[in-house]
Amino acid sequence: MIEILQQIVNGIAIGGVYVLIALGLTTVFGILGIAHFAHGSVSMFGGYLTFFLVAGQGIPLVIAIPVALTAGVVLGMAIELLAYRPVRKASHINAFIVALGLTMMVEGLNLEFFGHEQVVIPTSFDRVFNIGGVTLPELRLYVILAAALLIAAMTIFVERTKTGQAIRAVAENRDAAILMGVNVRTIPLVVFAMSTALGVAAGIMVGALFAIAPGIGEGLVIKGFAVLILGGLGSIPGAIVGGIVLGITESLAAGFVSSAYKDVIAFLVMIFVLLFRPQGLLGKAS
Amino acid sequence: MKRTISTLAGAAVAALIAAQPVLAEETLAIGVSDALTGGAAVYGLPQANAVKLAASEINAAGGISVGGETYMLEVIAYDDKGNPTEATNAVRKLIDRDGVKYILGFCCSGATGAVASFIEYEDAVMLVGNAAERSITTREIPNLTRTRPPADYTGAAAGAFVAAKGHKRVAVLGALDVGFYASYVDAFEKELNKAGGEIVTREAFALKDRDMTPQLTKIRGLEADALLVVGYVEPAAFIYRQSVELGLDLPRYGFTSGSEEQFLRVATSEQMEGVWDLRPTELTLLSATENGIAYHENYAAAYGISPSPSSPYAYDQTYALKDALEAAGTVEDTAAVARALRELAVPDEVVMQYLPIDGKMFDRNGQAYTSNGAFQWRDGNWTFVQDLPSDPVAYSEFLSTLD
Residue A215 has pLDDT above 50, yes or no: yes
Do B160 and B197 share a domain, yes or no?
yes
pLDDT in tens, chain B (403 residues): 445 545 545 554 444 444 444 455 799 999 999 999 887 888 899 999 999 999 999 999 999 999 889 999 999 999 999 999 999 999 999 999 999 999 999 999 999 999 999 999 999 999 999 998 899 999 889 999 999 999 999 999 999 999 999 999 999 999 998 888 999 999 999 999 999 999 999 999 887 788 899 999 999 988 899 999 999 888 999 999 999 988 888 999 999 878 888 899 889 999 999 999 999 886 665 556 788 889 999 999 999 988 988 899 999 999 999 999 999 999 999 999 999 999 999 999 999 989 999 999 999 999 999 989 999 999 999 998 998 988 899 999 999 998 7
Contacts of B305 (CB under 8 A, 6+ apart): B261
Nearest C-alpha neighbor of B245 from the set B233, B256, B255, B237: B237
Residue A147, min C-alpha distance to chain B (Å) = 17
Does B260 reside within a domain?
Answer: yes
Does a structural domain hold residue B5? Answer: no
Q: What is the pLDDT of residue A18?
A: 93
Question: Who among B38, B210, B247 is closest to A211 (CB)?
Answer: B210
Chain B residue closest in CA terms to A215: B38
A3 contact B CB<8A: yes
**Cβ–Cβ under 8 Å, residues B385 and B275:** no
- Beta-strand runs (E) in B60-190: 64-66, 69-79, 102-105, 125-128, 144-146, 169-174
Residues of A in contact with B268 (CB under 8 A): 126
| pLDDT (0 to 100) of residue A284 | 74
Q: Is residue B1 part of a domain?
A: no
Both B196 and B332 in one domain: the answer is no
Do B117 and B55 reside in the same domain of the chain? yes
Same domain assignment for residues B352 and B282 = no
Q: How is B320-381 classified by DSSP, letter by letter?
A: HHHHHHHHHT-SS-HHHHHHHHHTPPPPTT--S-B--BTTBSS-TTSB--B-EEEEEEETTE
Q: Is B166 helix (H, G, I), strand (E, B) or coil?
A: coil
A73 contacts A191 by C-beta, under 8 angstroms: no
**Chain B nearest C-alpha distance from A233 (Å):** 27
How much is the mean pLDDT over chain A? Answer: 89
Write out chain A residues lying below 8 Å of B177, CB-based. 260
pLDDT score, position A89: 83
Interchain pair B203, A259: CB under 8 A: yes
Same domain, B31 and B142: yes
Please report, for chain A, the start and end positions of each structural domain, with discontinuous segments joined by +: 2-121+146-276
Gap from B348 CA to chain A (nearest CA, Å): 34
**B207 reaches A (C-beta below 8 A):** no
Share of chain A above pLDDT 70, in %: 99
Q: Which residues in chain B have Cβ-Cβ distances shorter than 8 Å to A259? A: 203-205, 214-215, 218
- Identify which of B37, B204, B210 has the shortest CB distance to residue A259: B204
Residues of chain A contacting B208 with CB distance shorter than 8 Å: 215-216, 219
Distance of CA B113 to the CA centre of its chain: 15
Tally of domains in chain B: 2
Question: For testing the chain B interface, which of A2, A210, A261 should be mutated: the one with the most B CBs within 10 Å?
Answer: A210
Contact between B213 and A130 using a beta-carbon 8 Å cutoff: no
State the CB neighbour count (10 A cutoff) for residue B374.
21
What is the phi/psi pair of residue A212, to 5°? -115, 135
> In this complex, how many residue pairs, one in chain A and one in chain B, have their CB atoms less than 8 Å apart?
81
User: What is the C-alpha to C-alpha distance for residues B392 and B163, in angstroms, rounded to an integer?
Assistant: 21
CA B385 – CA B376 distance, rounded (Å)? 7
Complete DSSP assignment for A134-153:
EEEEHHHHHHHHHHHHHHHH
CB B138 within 8 A of CB B132: no
According to the model, what pLDDT value does residue A286 have? 62
Q: How confident is the model at residue A199 (pLDDT cuts 50, 70, 90)?
A: very high
Residue B4's Cβ-side half-sphere holds a number of Cα atoms within 13 Å equal to 1
Q: Can you give the pLDDT at residue B42?
A: 87
How far is the C-alpha of A279 from the C-alpha of A233, rounded, in Å?
7
The answer on B182 and B33 residing in a single domain is no
Q: Please check whether residues B176 and B249 belong to one and the same domain.
A: yes
Chain A nearest CA to B244, separation (Å): 9
Number of H helices, E strands in chain A: 11, 2
B16 located within any domain: no
> With left for phi above 0 and alpha for psi between -120 and 50, is residue B304 left, alpha or beta?
left
Contact call for residues B229 and B252 (beta carbons, < 8 A): yes
Find the residue in B nearest to A111 (Cα): B37
* A257: contact with B, CB 8 A cutoff: no
HSE (side-chain half, CA atoms, 13 Å) at B92: 10
Between A279 and B224, residue with greater pLDDT: B224
- Judged by a CB distance cut-off of 8 A, whether residue B38 touches chain A is yes
Confirm or reject contact between A55 and chain B (CB < 8 A). no
Nearest CB to B208 within list A120, A216, A253: A216
Q: B211 and A214 in contact by Cβ < 8 A?
A: no
Do B321 and B395 fall into the same domain? Answer: no
Contact check, Cβ <8 Å, B213/A251: yes
* CB within 8 Å: B176 and A119: no
Residues B29 and B134 grouped into a single domain: yes
- Cα distances (Å, whole numbers) of residue B317 to A279, B320, B373: 59, 5, 21
Task: Please tell me the CATH code under which domain A2-121+146-276 is placed.
Answer: 1.10.3470
As to burial, measured by CB atoms within 10 angstroms (0-12 exposed, 13-18 middle, 19+ buried), residue A143 is buried
Q: Are B251 and B391 members of one domain? A: yes
Question: What is the rounded distance in angstroms from the CA atom of residue A20 to the CA atom of residue A8?
Answer: 18
pLDDT digits (tens, 9 = 90+) for A230-244: 888 878 889 999 999
B395 shares a domain with B272: yes
Chain B touched by A255 (CB under 8 Å): yes
Instruction: Convert the pLDDT of each residue in A109-135 to its tens digit.
Output: 998 888 877 889 999 888 889 888 888
Residue B97 located in a structural domain: yes
Using a CB-CB cut-off of 8 Å, the residues of chain A touching B247 are: 128, 130, 135
Mark yes or no for CB contact B177/A210 under 8 Å.
no
Q: How far apart are CA B217 and CA A1, in angstroms?
A: 12
**Hey, are the CB atoms on A7 and B214 less than 8 Å from each other?**
yes
* Residue B4 belongs to a domain: no
Higher pLDDT, B2 or A198: A198
**Which structural domain range is residue B279 located in?**
152-286+374-400
CATH number at residue B273: 3.40.50.2300
User: What percent of chain A stands above pLDDT 90?
Assistant: 50
User: For residue B16, what pLDDT is reported?
Assistant: 44
Inter-axis angle of helices A92-114 and A216-231, to 10 degrees?
Answer: 140
Residue type, B116: A
Nearest to A120 among B37, B41, B266 (CB): B266
Residues B218, A130: C-beta atoms closer than 8 Å: no
Query: Which chain A residue's Cα is nearest to B271?
Result: A126
Looking at the domain assignment, is residue B10 inside a domain? no
